[in-house]
Amino acid sequence: MKIAMLARNANLYSHKRLKEAAEQRGHELQIINTLRCYMNIASRRPEIFYNGEKLKGFDAVIPRIGTSITFYGTAVLRQFEMMGVYPLNESVGIGRSRDKLRSMQLLARDGIGLPNTTFAHDPKQTEEVIKLAGGAPLVIKLLEGTQGVGVMLADTDKSAQSVIEAFRGAQVNILVQQFIKEAGGEDIRAFVIGGKVVAAMLRKGAEGDFRSNLHRGGSARSIKITPEERATAVKAAKAMGLNVCGVDMLRSSSGPVVMEVNSSPGLEGIENATGIDIAGKTIEFLEKNAKPNKTRTRGKG
Ligand SMILES: Nc1ncnc2c1ncn2[C@@H]1O[C@H](COP(=O)(O)OP(=O)(O)OP(=O)(O)O)[C@@H](O)[C@H]1O
Ligand SMILES: [Mg+2]
Ligand SMILES: [Mg+2]
């Protein structure tokens, strides 16, 4: 196969591992800097150019699009889709995953367990929103945060109110969510490839932090998840329309609840914690599925 990987930094662990895994299996993998691609949206003749040359002959594309370039990155990926190149994850699925509210709505529709979540535009509804989410303690999240930045815990209704009002005043979109205290600062990352959980880890936040993100100083270890957790992760991936993703869940007293689904999950934490060759499994998935014009998005946008 000839594989394109849309990524900005070729030296990141995940990117190096995917390249290595592809080459080990006899494929060619070209790292393409997403922001340096330019496109010709010509009628019936979609083209992408890179460093002055037309990109052609690719069987598959691996999107590793950072959250800061979602708009341009998904446009470049969509152009590959229009050309009939098989995407590891489709542009539509990535777009969904980048908006927490949109993701939650899709997951809720499919009956997937979620923390009680509320959203409002009008600052006058703050009190109602707090009540609807079940009252303090509450978690307040920026709609487009990542790596745990922009996730806050409000201990009282009063502090929740002032945080919500501050963000609303600054025109920032937020979610207000029930705090799952019984999770004890731990969450589960289930790594899904092609409708199966291939690895799972338990992440624990740094001392005194309720956020378990590894980027915030958390630690991780391999765990065996329950059949219910496994089914929830698989269902969440399907609801989002993602072939490869990291499903983050909390262990609540009423079973697993999904916090978010990451469409470009990092490989370093999960490979180190579990010893599982995620990069190899990803390339294997492409070997089985990457056929020309197999993308479902093609023609749908
Ligand atoms: N409702 C909640 N109850 C308890 N803990 C929570 C809740 N929501 C988030 N957390 C904790 O905060 C962390 C960060 O939250 P979340 O994953 O939603 O944010 P993020 O910034 O998008 O992170 P990521 O880098 O994983 O995309 C979670 O991993 C979890 O440990
Ligand atoms: Mg996120
Ligand atoms: Mg998270």
* Phi, psi of 159, deg, nearest 5: -70, -35
pLDDT tens digits along 52-86: 999 999 999 999 999 899 999 999 999 999 999 99
Domain that holds residue 15: 2-93
What is the pLDDT at residue 297? 56
CATH number of the structural domain spanning residue 155: 3.30.1490.20
Ligand 1 site-directed mutation target among 117, 138, 182, 213, most atoms within 8 Å of CB? 213
| Residue 141 annotated in ligand binding | yes
List, run by run, the mean pLDDT of 10-residue segments along the chain (301 residues): 96 98 98 95 90 95 94 96 95 94 95 93 85 95 76 95 88 91 95 98 89 84 97 98 98 97 96 98 97 60 45
Q: Encoding tokens for residue 125? A: 């509804």
Ligand 1 residue neighbourhood (C-beta within 6 Å): 115, 139, 141, 145-151, 177-180, 183, 187, 205, 210-213, 248, 250, 259-260, 262
Answer yes or no: are the C-beta atoms of 218 and 204 closer than 8 Å: yes
What is the pLDDT at residue 301? 45
Q: What's the pTM?
A: 0.93
The β-bridge partners of 149 are: 146
Q: Is 170 in the same domain as 192?
A: no
User: b/e map of 148-185 (b: 16 or more CB within 10 Å)?
Assistant: beebbbbeeeebbbebbeebbeeeeebbbbbbbeebeb
Q: Is 96 in a helix, a strand, or coil? A: helix
Q: Is 143 in the same domain as 189?
A: no
Region for 181 from its dihedrals, namely left if φ exceeds 0, alpha if ψ lies in -120 to 50, beta otherwise:
alpha
Q: How many CB atoms lie within 10 A of CB 117?
A: 21
Helical ranges in 89-204 per DSSP H: 91-97, 100-109, 126-132, 157-169
CATH number of the structural domain spanning residue 17: 3.40.50.20
Our count of domains for the chain comes to 3
Domain assignment of residue 32, yes or no: yes
Task: Output the residue whose Cα is nearest ligand 1's atom 1.
Answer: 179
Domain assignment of residue 215, yes or no: yes
Ligand 1 site-directed mutation target among 70, 151, 181, most atoms within 8 Å of CB? 151
Q: Is 174 in the same domain as 186?
A: no
What is the pLDDT at residue 293? 66
For ligand 1, the distance from its centroid to the CA atom of residue 236, given in whole angstroms, is: 16
Q: Is 186 in the same domain as 163?
A: no
Q: Is 165 in the same domain as 212?
A: no
ipTM: 0.94
CATH number of the structural domain spanning residue 253: 3.30.470.20
